[in-house]
Amino acid sequence: MADGIAEQREWRVTGMDCGSCAAKVRGAVERLPGVRDVDVALMAEQLRLTLDESQTSPERIEKAVRSFGFGIAPKGARPEKPKGGFILPDGAFPASAEAPGAGTGLEDAGAPETGPTSWMRTAKGRLVLGTGALLAAAWASRLVVTAETAHWAFILATLVGLVPVAQRAFAMTRAGMPFTIEMLMTIAAGGALVIGEPEEAALVVFLFAVGELLEGVSAGKARDSIRALSKLVPKTARLEVGRRVREVSAEALQVGQVVQVRPGDRVPCDGEVMSGTSGVDESPVTGESIPSLKEPGAEVFAGSINAEAVLRVRVTKAAEDNTIARIVRLVEEAESARAPTERFIDRFSRVYMPAVVGAALLVAVVPPLAFGQAWGEWVYRALALLLIGCPCALVISVPASITSALSTGARNGLLMKGGAVIEAAARTTHVAFDKTGTLTHGKPRVTDVSVLSGSEDRLMSLAAGVENGASHPLGQAICAEAERRGIDAAAATGGRTLPGKGAEASIDGVTVCVGSPRLAEERGALSDHLRSHVATLEAQGKTVVIVLREDVPLGLVAQRDEPRADAAESVAQLRALGISSIMLTGDNARTARAIADGLGIEHRSELMPEDKVTAIRHLTTSARVTMIGDGINDAPALAAAHVGVAMGSGTDVALETADAAILRNRVTDVAGQIRLARATMANIRQNIAIALGLKAIFLVTTVLGITGLWIAILADTGATVLVTMNALRLLFFRPSGAEDVVGRAGRPQLNSDRERASATT
């Protein structure tokens, strides 16, 4: 690009197993000219950067990454198989035979493992098998050959396994990264050979290879839970074309097209039901295991499962913008939003590694020079110290936990946009709720029907007849209540609205009016008894309409935007977590008070959007605030809070502005999200304690000469694996507060029917 314009580019990088790997990829490219804004997502296997191709070509980026032993392919291309590993020819061991089609350098890294030998087909698997076989052969040679010959067998075993490690170490040194685990391994194993300890050197190389393999397996398990999300959407869809139905790619569906979804099929798109009534299992998307009834006009999500009858669904969102795609995109982007703790550890490790190397150098030279100690013994201890000092476990302690938490949240309908959000949510002390559409359903419902003359059914029939086809929410609520009761609307003619007062129509030749108490007052129909009844209902935050027949009151209907069924439980759960709650609403004080008193929550009423922002800013001066909302008017307040959470039914503006989202529209999921965040931070603290605790113990024992090289590498590898496995426990965490790790039989408790089904296949 001769004009020097920089553009954002993206690649998929395969072969990354830990935070150290991600740091190597970042270091490989960020020093190149014309490269900036480098972001490496470990679990998503993504490299994003802004590139000026007039200074550095994409091919040079790819060459730099490949030189470190990673595979790299542009976004949209097939993932590339990482190169490197054991240096003997492929096929030297039967278990390492490549799968059909291998050798092209490409593989579908996202494909599921096909059997127990899958790990053997990888470069790291071959390295383990090769070094293990050579080590076993060297030990066996002691029985049949001289000690000197066996000595050379151990040297050969060491060199064969160490060469690929050393190649990567020197490649990274040339790129300006001398302090890596590969360099420490090269120095330690090479030094052991120099001081005459080839047996330990060979064992260290083998254990290092095992550790690398275990890291890869652990990282793969974590990635599987994220990849499973994108596999929920079916590959094909049954598209209606005229009177015919033909099968097409789900990715090719366009907004406005109509698809047919048979019982048992997954819904291929986000859409609106055109015809048909069926229960739909939305657990793959929201975590809700109870099927949701879908009727004409209802919304369905891509990836949900049609359970009962054929549905015709009109596509409302393109494939790249459907719910599953947005979840996957949010999870991938969230991984890049690193937690403050993670950023601190990254900075710490940059200082820590040179410090460890310096300490090892002092251990090697000070005792012999200052106190006349044996050089061989103290060099050996210094080499062990180098291996113990590797910060891999510490570096991966945060991102492994964050990624597991993001995956668990996505499975349970809880989305958080990164580690920074998780860390902020864990520190929440106050939760501010919007009222309409968040604590309440967002539309009025009939709560009371009082009859003065005739029956309830007749009263509702007349009211529904007048309001039939109404656009006003109050009129729609009356019609919905009549339909729910199975009451037919009375046949009406000459219907008209009375602006600000109500509506009226002619039924059986008589004028029937559904209007406000003010209208009844104007028409002389509001008696003292009726006025008292209206006042009582309005004090409860309800809106009252009076049904008049020829200006004679027949009864009244009270409505209110009712709290969600779990709203009070959510407030109680938050209180149990030590979190205070407050409701912010633009509604009048009377209605706000009635809702708040029923939920046991503080409230502030009659707030404009800017007033909500002011209220949030006032709270944030002395508390850590999470704001929950759903509408466009909530977007500024969501942005002003420490953590903004959008209800899944909310507007796109709220969802984009928010730091997190609740897809199931359950208010109790607010407490679940905070539980997950707190569990994640506890897991991170455990990981840091494991990583630093083991290092502290073995640093002391190594300097004192109690532990040697092979224990050092085992401790380092063990810490990394322990940290990763501990982070993976979050995959089984239940944000609802149920038992979250293992059942009585020791097996993970599965969160949904989907997980139970997948466990049996």
CATH for 6-74, options being 3.30.420.40, 3.30.1600.10, 3.30.1360.120, 3.30.70.100: 3.30.70.100
What is the fold of 236-321?
A: 2.70.150
> Which spans in 412-489 are helix H?
419-426, 456-467, 473-484
Flag whether pLDDT at 233 surpasses 60: yes
Spatial contact of 185 and 387, defined as CB atoms under 8 Å apart: yes
First CA to last CA distance, the chain? 51
Helix (H), strand (E) at residue 617 = helix 609-620
Among the options 265, 434, 659, 740, which is catalytic? 434
Flag whether pLDDT at 123 surpasses 70: no
557 has which bridge partners?
449, 545
The Cβ-side half-sphere exposure at 745, using a 13 Å CA radius, reads 4
Lowest mean pLDDT among 236-240, 309-313, 691-695: 691-695
153-162, 524-533, 734-743, range with greatest mean pLDDT: 524-533
Lowest mean pLDDT among 115-119, 155-159, 382-386: 115-119
144 band by pLDDT with thresholds 50, 70 and 90 = confident
CA distance 323 to 344: 34
pLDDT above 90: percentage of residues in the chain = 25
Q: pTM for the whole thing?
A: 0.62
Residue type at position 460: M
- HEC letters along 516-547: CHHHHHHCCCCCHHHHHHHHHHHHCCCEEEEE
Q: Could you state, in order of their start, the residue ranges of all structural domains in the chain?
A: 6-74, 123-233, 236-321, 445-560
Taking only the tens place, the pLDDT of each residue in 10-69 is: 998 888 766 667 777 888 888 889 998 888 877 678 898 999 988 899 999 998 888 887
420 band by pLDDT with thresholds 50, 70 and 90 = confident
Spatial contact of 721 and 211, defined as CB atoms under 8 Å apart: yes
Taking only the tens place, the pLDDT of each residue in 699-746 is: 888 788 887 777 776 777 778 778 878 988 998 999 987 544 333 333
Phi-psi region at 267: left, alpha or beta (left = phi > 0; alpha = psi -120 to 50): beta
Spatial contact of 416 and 742, defined as CB atoms under 8 Å apart: no
- In the chain, what is the greatest distance between 2 CA atoms, to the nearest angstrom? 119
Phi-psi region at 547: left, alpha or beta (left = phi > 0; alpha = psi -120 to 50): beta
Residue 434 appears among annotated catalytic residues = yes
Taking only the tens place, the pLDDT of each residue in 435-492 is: 878 898 878 889 999 999 889 999 999 999 998 877 677 888 899 999 999 999 999 9
The DSSP 8-state label assigned to residue 70 in this structure reads -
pLDDT, greater one: 294 or 676: 676
The pLDDT value recorded for residue 435 is 86
What is the fold of 445-560?
A: Calcium-transporting ATPase, cytoplasmic domain N (3.40.1110)
Count of C-beta atoms within a 10 Å radius of residue 577: 15
Q: How far is CA 707 from each of CA 210, 422, 703, rounded to the nearest angstrom?
A: 20, 39, 8
3 state DSSP class of 608: coil
3 state DSSP class of 103: coil
Flag whether pLDDT at 414 surpasses 80: yes
Residue type at position 298: A
747 band by pLDDT with thresholds 50, 70 and 90 = very low
Mean pLDDT of the chain: 79
Pairing of strands 271-275, 311-315: antiparallel
Flag whether pLDDT at 176 surpasses 80: no
Pairing of strands 643-647, 311-315: unpaired
122 band by pLDDT with thresholds 50, 70 and 90 = low
Taking only the tens place, the pLDDT of each residue in 205-221 is: 787 777 677 666 656 66
Closest CA to 323 of 259, 268, 277: 268
The pLDDT value recorded for residue 283 is 64
CA distance 564 to 436: 10
Find the Cα–Cα–Cα–Cα dihedral 630, 634, 636, 641, rounded to 10°: -70
The pLDDT value recorded for residue 392 is 66
> What residues contact 282, with CB distance under 8 A and at least 6 apart?
288, 291, 292, 301, 304
Helix (H), strand (E) at residue 495 = strand 493-498
Taking only the tens place, the pLDDT of each residue in 686-704 is: 998 988 888 888 888 878 8
